[in-house]
Structure formats: structure tokens, C-alpha cells
Structure 1
Amino acid sequence: MPPQAPIEGGADVVIVGAGAAGLSLARRLTAPQVAEGGPASVVVIEPPAGSSLRSPDRTWCFWENDPGEYDSLVAARWRRMRITARDGRTTSAAFPRTYKMIRSTDFLREVGAELAQRPGVRTVEATVTRVRDVPGGAEVTGRDAGGRPVRLRGGWVFDSRPPHDLPAARTTLLQHFRGWFVTTRDDRFEPGVADLMDFRTRQPERGLSFAYVLPFTPREALVEYTVFSAEPLPEAAYDAALDAYVRTARPLGALLVTGVEQGVIPMTDGVFARRAGERVFRIGVAGGATRPSTGYAFAAIQRQTAAVAAAWHAGRTPQPPQPHAARHRLMDAVMLRALATGRAGGAAFFEGLFGRNPPDRVLRFLDGTSTLRDEWAIGLNTPVPAMLRALGELPAVPRRKGRACS
């Protein structure tokens, strides 16, 4: 049997990965209403259908002013939040900006369909094996589902695949979670109120755990059990914790679990390299978009891809910017160190954070829109001795090689 002809081609930009970062960048680069120079030609490479390399279905939450860019895809939104302490006391407040949820299935389907209508966009299904600089640009090679070689060249390549290994870091925790989409027999939820953190869960010795409840209707919600710790749990442990929560801490009565989501998000003060070659960059989670202290990434991905597209259209080197301010990354590093060493109890830390500060101030910090004045006040209302000790020892803590990502 003769060898199959390779899949070849070229474009202004080649994007590896068709998730939130890859599709957002492709959409911005090829928007018809761009300035001089016109839209870019783009090739998007995604793993073949059915491949284990494709990301599982998930939900993305973020804060945003109305109206928003992707409002047509928003599955639910909340105007108020609630924090519940271990003793049952609650703190409630309005969100500074609307809290929104997008389902990844909706985003990938709709944005993918939009891109399919743009003449400068080509999608190739292949498993990428190599990304490298070549004279005049960069090259991506791999194989399609049938084993046929794939070789694509671009003036620039943006790699959005999750990193295989985490960067060297002083502190690395994992945010791991499992959520049930539930339907209850009776009205049990307030659709306009998101339970951002409910600490009436069993707390680990180091780190913290909490329940996270996002109601869609009075009888439908996502109920999630989240843990910040060094290692994930067995799947049965998450289900046991969720079962205990909906039976005792927040009794929901008869219910039906209609779906499940599960994931692991690294919380690390390691520095993600955004440049992988002269003409190769990393974007999205691979480019440091995940906020170390919260695990949020979607809004940062939008900021990062918007900056990349603006630079390309202006004829500048389209290097992805650091998505998070240096002072936020420092505060996150201190918090992670204090939690990982056990000097600050996780539940007590966050209960105090919301209890001693106006909730909108804390939410601005979590959203990445806080001012220096906000951050100074927040710092004074944390366990100051533990925070100062963590801050003081950071320069002497060695950065250790990152663990492999699951």
C-alpha cells in the first residue's frame, strides 16, 4: 500500500488546541471588522474526535460587566453571593460585576460554527507531536486519526495545550473538585444567589474544603465539593462528601443527579513560560492564565487573547502578556505558602477574609480588579503574623521541579 500523502499547509497563524484559549484567539484574529491589514489566515489544530487528549466537558465561571462579549452563550448568571462559615453564620452581598457561567460544550460548538463560516480559517484534526521554529516562522507536525502525517507552517504558532509538567515552584497546591448537577423534588435554591463558599464540610489538616452551589432554578443547581490540598482524592471520597453535604449541612431532600463534572486545577507560584521559541508562544492555562489563588482562568484568557490579536493586527510581535498583575501574584504566593505550611487554617483564613472586609473588596481581589488600597486593607485583615512569616521566607524557599499534570 503506497504511503499516504501528508496533510500540509500554511497560514499567518497556527493555533494548537481548540479549547477556550485557542478558539478565542482564532475568533479575534479573524474578526472581519479589524483595522488595517485585514483578518489573519488561521489554522486550528485539535485532537481527533474521541481522543483522550480532548478536554472533558466543564463549566467556566467569571465576573463581567453587562453586556458581555459572550452573553448569548451564558447558561446562568448571579447578582449576589453568599459565604457560609463552619458555624452556619452567613455573609451575603451583591457581586461587584455579574457572575456568569458558560458551558464548554456551548462555547466550543457555537464559536467553532462561527469560525467555520470565516474564509480564512481552517481546522485540522491531528495529534501534535512537535512544535518548532523554522526559517521564517514555525512548524507543527503530527498525525491524523488515520496515521497520515501532518505538517503545517505559520508565521506564528500559539500552543494552548495544557502543560505536561508544571513549572518549578516554591509552593504548589491542587484545587480538585467534583460537582453534581441536581434536580430536587421541592424548591430548595435561590436562583439569583450563588453560594461561593460554604465551609460546612470536613476540613483537611492543611488546605481547605468547601461546597460551591450555583442554582439555575428553584429546583436545579450545580453542587460542587472543592478541596485545596497537595493531592487529589479517590472519586468515591468526593461523592461521599457531596452526599453528606446535601443530607446534613444543606438538606435538599429527594433529588436526582443529572450530570457530573470533575477536575484538577494547579494552584502554583511557578512561572509559566509564555514563549517557547522565536515564533512559538503558549496561551491560556499553558501561558499562565489560571489565577493561582482561585483557579479562575476564563476572563484572563479573554484579556490575553485580545492583547495577542491587537499586537498581531498592529504588526507587533504578538507575545502573550502576563495575565495577572505582579502584586496579585505575590499575594497569591504568600497565601499559598501560608496554607501549604498549615500556618493559616484554610477555612478560618477565608472566613476572616470575608468577615473582616466588605465583601465587594474581597470579590474585586478575586476578580483581579482590586486597587492597591483594597489590597493593603485585605492584607491587614488576614492573619498578619502567618502572612508576614510566609512573605519573609519566600526568597529562601527553593523552587522545585513541577509535577506532571494529570
Structure 2
Amino acid sequence: MNAAPVDVDLALVGGGGAASLVLAALDRYGVSGLRIAVVDPVHKRGQDRTWAFWDRPGNDLDPMLSARWSRVEVVTPAGRRVLALAPLRYAMLRSDAVYARAAEAERRLGATRIGAAAGALDDDGQRVLVRGTDGRPLVRADWVLDSRPRPPERPGRTNWLQHFRGWWVETDEPTFDPERAVLMDFRTPQPARGVSFGYVLPVSDRYALVEYTEFSPWLLTDDAYDLALRRYVGLAGLDPAALRIREVENGVIPMTDAPFVARPSPRVVRLGTAGGATRPSTGFTFSAMRRQADQVARALAAGRPPVPRPAYPRRHRWMDAVALRALDRGRVDGPEFFNRLFARNPADRVLRFLDGATSPAEDLAVMRSSPLLPMMGAVIGDTVDRLRGRLRRDAALVPLRRSGSRTDPR
């Protein structure tokens, strides 16, 4: 006989970064009396990823940061640009600190941990039954926050990936400047269709993350990533013989204008990449994921439904779709595009734009800094593709309407 499902107010399905930030935020806002369950077959601990992001100093993340920088460099074949970020900073956060903080919050909140993989979420509009992958009832909750990776609702017009490999390297002698990070170094060989760059994030003068990243439609082989990293180590002026590789990091993040459904049913809310937190034009996710967690916690503390706002303004999603199209179709050169962005705008404006925090007037300034004629061509092409897609979807609905079938209004 199947055991009765655990009865809770809030279920977190998936226990990675997004759920960890929610737990920490609930604890920070003093949410009490809430019955919480975390459903995940793996209890995340230790180091499995690194987040780099920008924010303002003096917040709850300060004690957990591995490093922070007030200046960063953007490097192109034409030269090196040093950007002063004040009042913002660029920061590094490693996952072991986030998971440890979440474990502390989980204990303080009295959350129930269910070590099983979640399958279907049956939402009847009043409560949600979380089933295991074998169909067994696991949890019944008033609300479910689902941070499991999910595909978009339908394919995008442009579908790229941010994919990367990084080496945590150590040296015997002082080698790095811990006060300055290399944000983007475009001297790497550029792919035929895409953008590549390296970067260096020093934690101390003898320890740093050195990484190679591509924005492109296809992944590389393991050997190709390692070759690209070795080449970048040389471009960065580092002696490969003096570096000891302590850790290796890999990652793949979607960069697409495809729509992600943030609320697939009345009482299920998706967070993280599945909830639209990944910025299509850059692959950055952490800042939006943190905003989602903060908004969820504030809502629950006030007795409101835990439904965060859209991760980015609609106009920013449109601008990202146009930028992705221009890069994908070769209308603009990737390194030149990013170089102009930083050359013609204050650094803090660019960073706030990439976080979705700029005003419409600032967005216009950002748009003016891009190559106008190629971008106008991308705007026209994106508009035509949107109209064609809408006409195809409308045409597909005609037989259903004639037969009297109802479509899902969501």
C-alpha cells in the first residue's frame, strides 16, 4: 500500500541553486509557521558550480562571497578597456556556501526533506499533488515551486548555447591581480557562427578561475574545450608550466528567444532557467534567480501567493531576440558588438541593462550604441518571423475551433 503523501503549504521541487536561494530568503524574512517540503533525490552539498554576477555591496551575500572586484577588463584585439563598476561590483559566489546557507535555513524552517525524484505535478486548482517518477504520491501542497530544468514552450527563432570549460589554477609565485578581473577577452579565435571569449577571475594572487566560453549553436568536444583553454592561457600571458589545475568546471546554458512558461498551472510556479531567469543574450541567470527568491519570500511573509514577477521586462526580451538574431545571421560582429556596448555606455548602465534593471530611456541609449543598420535588419527579420509564427499557430487552431474543441487559455 502506498503511504499517504506528506501534507505541506509549500513544496520546493528540485533542490539546487534556485531552491537554495528561496530557503535562505524565507529564513531571512522570518517566515514562520509554514510547512515546507524539499523534493530532490540528491541533497546538494559541496562545490559543483560557480556563479559570477554584479550587484551593490552590503547585502546578505557578502559573507558568502569568494571574491569581489570593483574594476574589470574587457579586452579586444584593438586594446584593453578597464571599467570602473562603482556603485556596482562584480562578485563570485561558489555553490558550497549557498548550499550550506540553505541547509541552515532548512533546519531553522523545519522543512521536510524527501529524497526522491519528482514526476508529474497534478494541480486541481486548489492543491497540487507531487508524484514520484513511479507515480507514487509524495507531497500534497498548496503551492509548488518547480526549479527542475524544462524545455521552452516551443522552439525559438534563434537557439544558441552558452557553453564553457574553466580551470581553477594555482601557482607558487604571485601571478594574478586580485583587485581586477578579466570580464571578457575576445582575442580568442572566433567560431564561424558565434562568439567566443576567455576570462580570468582571481581569488588571490596565486589562485584563479580561468575559463573559455562560447556563445554558439553547438557544443565542442572535450579535447576542443581543453585546446581552447590552453590557447587562452597563452593569450592571457600565463605560463602553462607554472599552473596547477585544481578543479575543472563545465556548463551549458540556453540562449534562446523561445518562451518559457513560468506558471504552467494555477498553483505551480517555475523558477530558475525554466521560469525565465536566464538572460537570452548572455546566459546570465543568478541575479534574476535571486530576485525570484526574494519576491517569493516577501509574498509568503505577507500572506500572498508566491508568484514572482517576470524575470525581465518584455522590451528586454525583445531586444535580446533581436541581438541574438543579428549575431546568429552574421549581421554584426560579436566582439565589436560587445566592445561598442561598453565603449559608448557607462559600465554600470550596461551591467544594469544585462540584469533587466534599466529604464526605457537607458534602453534607448543602449540601442543607439549598437550598429544601427544591421540591427534594423534584425528587427525587420524578427518581426516577420513573429508574424509568420503567429499565423501558423492560428492556422493550426482552426480545425480545433471548427470541431468545437477548447484550447488551454493559459
Q: Same fold (TM over 0.5)?
A: yes
Output the CA distance in 1 between the equivalents of 2:29 and 2:59. Answer: 19
Match for residue 99 of structure 2 among 101, 108, 127: 108
What amino acid is aligned across from residue 256 of structure 1 in structure 2?
Answer: R
Aligned equivalent of 1:185: 172
Structure 1 residue 84 and structure 2 residue 81: aligned?
Answer: no
User: Counterpart of 2:81 in structure 1: which amino acid?
Assistant: T
Q: Provide the C-alpha distance between the structure 1 equivalents of 2:360 and 2:368, rounded to a whole number of angstroms.
A: 12
- Give CA deviations for 1:170-194 in whole Å, capped at 9, x if unaligned: 2111110000001123322110111
Kept in 2: contact 1:206–1:346 (CA 8 A): no
Separation in 1, partners of 2:236, 2:121: 50
SS class of match (1:236): helix
| 2:143 is equivalent to residue 156 of structure 1 | yes
Structure 2 gaps of 5+ residues are 393-410
Range with bigger deviation, 162-171 or 19-28: 162-171
Contact persistence 2:152–2:261 (CA under 8 A): no
Give CA deviations for 1:12-54 in whole Å, capped at 9, x if unaligned: 11110111211222333455634xxx4421101112469xxx9
SS at the partner of 1:117? helix
| Whole-Å separation in 2 of the counterparts to 1:32 and 1:202 | 47
Contact 2:158 2:256 in 1 (8 A): yes
Is the counterpart of residue 44 in structure 1 residue 45 in structure 2? no
Secondary structure (helix, strand or coil) at the match of 1:281 reads strand
Does 1:335 find its partner at 2:335? no
CA distance in 1, matches of 2:285, 2:84: 22
- Is the counterpart of residue 221 in structure 1 residue 208 in structure 2? yes
**Structure showing greater relative contact order (alpha-carbon pairs closer than 8 Å, 6 or more residues apart):** 1
Is 2:333 aligned against 1:345? Answer: yes
Q: Paired residue for 1:305, among 293, 299, 303?
A: 293
Alignment partner for residue 57 of structure 2, among 66, 75, 78?
66
Which of 219, 239, 244 lines up with 1:252 in the alignment? 239
Query: What displacement does 1:300 show?
Result: 0.8
Q: Secondary structure at the match of 1:362?
A: helix
Counterpart residue type for residue 243 of structure 1: R
1:23 corresponds to 2:20: yes
Aligned-residue identity in percent: 41
Shift of 1:228: 0.5
**Structure 1: gaps spanning 5 or more residues:** 402-406
In terms of fraction of residues, the more helix-rich structure is: 2
Q: Is the 8 A contact 2:23 2:105 kept in 1?
A: no
Alignment-derived partner of residue 132 in structure 1: 122
Contact kept? 2:68, 2:90, Cα under 8 Å: yes
- Shift of the 30–131 alpha-carbon distance from structure 1 to 2, 3 Å rule, reads farther
Cross-structure match for 2:370: 382
- Cα displacement string for residues 79-136 of structure 1 (whole angstroms, at most 9, x for unaligned residues): 111011124x1110211312111111221123213312333x1111101121111363
Q: Cα RMSD between the aligned structures?
A: 2.5
Higher share of residues assigned strand: 1
SS of 1:390 mapped into structure 2: helix
Equivalent-residue separation in structure 1 for 2:206 and 2:153 (angstroms): 40
Q: Which residue, out of 3, 6, 17, partners 1:6? A: 3
The CA distance in 1 between the partners of 2:47 and 2:276, in whole Å, is 20
Q: Which runs of 4+ in 1 moved over 6 A?
A: none
Verify the 8 A CA contact 1:30 1:40 in the aligned structure 2. no
TM-score (norm 1): 0.88
- Taking a change above 3 Å as real, the CA distance of residues 56 and 186 of structure 1, as seen in their structure-2 partners, is closer
TM-score computed with the length of structure 2 as normaliser: 0.88
| Maintained 8 Å contact 2:195/2:214 | yes
**Structure 1 residue 99 and structure 2 residue 86: aligned?**
no
Correspondence 1:369 to 2:354: no
What amino acid does structure 1 have at the position aligned with 2:195?
L
Give the match for residue 252 of structure 2: 264
